[in-house]
Amino acid sequence: MGRLEGKITLVTGAGNPRGLGAATAQRYAEEGAFVYVTDLDEGGAQGVADAIRAAGGQAEELAQDVTSEASWDEVFAAIESGHGRLDVLVNNAGIAILKPLEQLTAADWEKQNKVNLDSVFYGTQRAVALMRKVGEGGSIVNLSSIAGLVGVTMCGAYAAAKGGVRLFSKVVAMECAAEQIRCNSVHPGMIETAMQDVARSDNPEGFKQIVGGIPMKRMGSPLDIANMNLFLASDEANYITGCEFIVDGGVTAM
């Protein structure tokens, strides 16, 4: 019996096969969940869902722009007509606009917060409404970052969004705890995905130095985050809500 047997789950931003969302969707399916795989990149979402089905898992791809409330409504309409319930939401979709303060524009700030923070509000509000209607609890896993915990240069807008995700998660946890709807945030350090490609190609030497400064001397893998997301989605985490989970090879312990 899988650790998520029978659970209906939704992972946003899961259409990049190298990303944290795809790794999470794959782990969830391996453990018996039905996974809605959503992404702005419709073809990407289909590819990840196809791979899950080819491996014997259960998945359905949906095109979704997490910055659009109408798009969230369409996704939840599909979930309600397909299964009538949602047990787990992973708010994973995100972008990183990394610039020093003097170069950040108001448009950068707005876009960064729209994709990484407003989306978490839109999704969480709808998930909680459906979970309350079903009345059997649920788990919401919000992807923050170590940049949502400590100061990281170039991360002005990104950190504001990720810090917002951290505290928003705690408020949701407080408002929903009595109904057994849990909400936690996950804080990855440097993980080997497409998100790190730009930083690496912009300044290969500097990038090497940063990785050398990680206590474990290496970047994390998407599976490291997927396994944390799996634990938080599972009944093993039944008494855990309003907490923050750091997966960073020791960076924030320094």
Ligand X SMILES: NC(=O)c1ccc[n+]([C@@H]2O[C@H](COP(=O)([O-])OP(=O)(O)OC[C@H]3O[C@@H](n4cnc5c(N)ncnc54)[C@H](O)[C@@H]3O)[C@@H](O)[C@H]2O)c1
Q: Does 123 bind ligand X (CB under 6 A)?
A: no
Q: Which residue is nearest to ligand X (CB)?
A: 94
The candidate with the shortest Cα–Cα distance to 48, out of 80, 82, 25, 77, is 25
Residue 114 Cβ vs ligand X, minimum distance, rounded to whole Å: 8
Q: Does 13 bind ligand X (CB under 6 A)?
A: yes
Q: Give whichever of 135 and 201 is closer to ligand X, judged by the CB atom.
A: 201
Q: Which of 88, 143, 157, 173 binds ligand X (CB under 6 A)?
A: 143
C-beta separation of 232 from 139 below 8 A = yes
- Check 28, 36, 122, 158 and give the catalytic one: 158
Where are the strands (E) in 154-234, listed by range?
181-188
Distance CA 55, CA 61 (A): 15
Q: Is 122 a catalytic residue?
A: no
Q: Give whichever of 90 and 176 is closer to ligand X, judged by the CB atom.
A: 90
Q: Give whichever of 93 and 128 is closer to ligand X, judged by the CB atom.
A: 93
Q: Does 163 bind ligand X (CB under 6 A)?
A: no
63, amino acid identity: A
Work out the end-to-end distance of the chain between its first and last CA atoms, rounded to an integer number of angstroms: 39
C-beta separation of 9 from 33 below 8 A = yes
Q: Does 40 bind ligand X (CB under 6 A)?
A: yes
Q: Which of 4, 10, 19, 128 binds ligand X (CB under 6 A)?
A: 19
Q: Give whichever of 29 and 226 is closer to ligand X, judged by the CB atom.
A: 226
Site residues (CB under 6 A) for ligand X, limited to 181-220: 188, 190-191, 193-196
Q: Does 39 bind ligand X (CB under 6 A)?
A: yes
Structure tokens at 132: 């309350």
Sign of CA dihedral 40, 71, 111, 38: negative
Number of neighbouring beta carbons within 10 Å of residue 100: 10
Distance CA 63, CA 50 (A): 14
Residues of this chain that interact with ligand X (CB under 6 A) are: 12-13, 15-16, 18-21, 39-41, 44, 64-67, 92-96, 115, 143, 145, 188, 190-191, 193-196
Which residues are known catalytic residues?
Answer: 158
